[in-house]
Amino acid sequence: MRAMTSKFRKGAAVALLVLGLGLGLGLGSADLRAGVCEDAFVRCIGDLYNQVLGGFGTIYCGVGFAFCKKYIDPEA
Amino acid sequence: MTLRRTIAFVLPVLVAFPAPRAGAAPPGGVKIEEVLAVGGLGDAALLQWTGVSVDAAGNIYVLDALDFSLKKFGADGRLVKKAGRKGQGPGEFTAPRLLAGSGSRLYATDQNVFGIYEFDSDLRYLRTIPCPGLVFALRALPDGTLALAVVGLPASAKLLRMDGQGRLLSEFPLAEATDAGLLMDSAGFDLDRQGQIYIAYLFRDRVEKRAPDGRILWGRSCLGEKKAATTNVQNLVLPKETCFKDVAVDGRGHVLVLGGKLSKHPSRDVYVLDGDGTPVATFVLPEPSHCLYVDGRNFLYVRADEGLTLKKYRILYD
């Protein structure tokens, strides 16, 4: 039970942190896996609001990507 | 009855021979000894911490990303106070990230806020200091000024010094080459008592020492000149692997650099350099961390349990 609770909390943490990248879309699964930051980056720069921001939107998503690589991605 | 016998046998053995809590002993003579754990798998005190700061009394301040809050723990690790909640109002968070402290002031960032939140040591929100870009590294200095690494348009990263009102005091670019690619300037930094700056790049195998005016005093590799693999995402070249996750200067003037994916033990190897960049030792954290923080009493703070726990270690030098 404790392990499950821990896994859930970690999963929830990943979801919230990745969503913190500024995604307008929900994240279907919150498992720790390689490529989670790349997927989040694609969604971030595909977001309409960030597209309107142009170059700044790319920088915003890039900072989120770097955060994701530093804190979240188990393969980074 | 069998369980009792097992406990009766095992317990004295565990007491007599406790499991080692310190990091692996390094060649060169630096090791760490755990003195405190805040939070934990069976404790809801921390849900996913990202930033940490410790005051002169040993109180520990932590930004909790999953709880959208700033928390204050006593020197014994007991939760004293919590402030902030999810939201976009003053002192509220949507994506809490960095934390720095100096004297009775705390400074926190939110990825979705242009500026730096200022709190007092009782976690009262004071104001938001304006900031010219997105902050990706932050330090508060004893003289009340802030040092921060920011990126904005044009997309070159800078290291700024600002006073407590947000007025720019100085700045210099982080990148040597502006064509290095998106994110290649991402870095952590720390300052020594003379105001000299140590920078460890997230996606480059490079650690630098800069003078306060930005002049490079030395730069070196710690990973054998490794290069981070890249991937192409929507016509943008993005780094896939991290070189260094953080850097901190300890009370002896040693530079502690946390290795990333490309180190032998990913996110666990800590390279210890002297102020001239000469390697002194390497030690290994028991668990991966995203950051290093050294307080004024030379205790080291790192992540454990993927953010559910904050661990405090004593640094031991041979």
Inter-chain Cβ pairs, chain A and chain B, closer than 8 A: 98
Q: How far apart are the first and last CA of chain B?
A: 47
Q: Is A60 on the interface with B (CB under 8 A)?
A: yes
Nearest-CA distance from A70 to chain B in Å?
6
Cα B143 from chain centre? 21
Decide if A28 is inside a domain: yes
Q: Hey, are the CB atoms on B136 and A67 less than 8 Å from each other?
A: yes
Q: How do the pLDDT tens digits run along chain A, 76 residues long?
A: 444 444 444 544 554 555 555 433 333 334 456 688 999 999 999 988 888 888 888 888 999 999 999 988 877 7
| Axis-axis angle for helices A2-19, A36-46 (nearest 10) | 40
Return the pLDDT at A53. 84
Decide if A76 is inside a domain: no
Q: Hey, are the CB atoms on B241 and A22 less than 8 Å from each other?
A: no
Q: List phi, psi (to 5°) of B11.
A: -60, -50
Q: Residue A20's domain spans which residues?
A: 2-71
Decide if A42 is inside a domain: yes
Return the pLDDT at B14. 40
Q: Output the average pLDDT for chain A.
A: 69
Q: Which residues pair with B298 in a beta bridge?
A: none
Decide if A32 is inside a domain: yes
| pTM of the full structure | 0.85
Tokens of B158: 């800078």
Number of structural domains found in chain A: 1
Decide if A51 is inside a domain: yes
Q: Hey, are the CB atoms on A9 and B47 less than 8 Å from each other?
A: yes
What is the average per-residue pLDDT within B201-214?
Answer: 96
Q: What are the boundaries of each domain within chain B? A: 21-317
Under a CB-based contact definition with an 8 Å cutoff, are residues B149 and B132 in contact? no
| CATH fold for domain B21-317 | Neuraminidase (2.120.10)
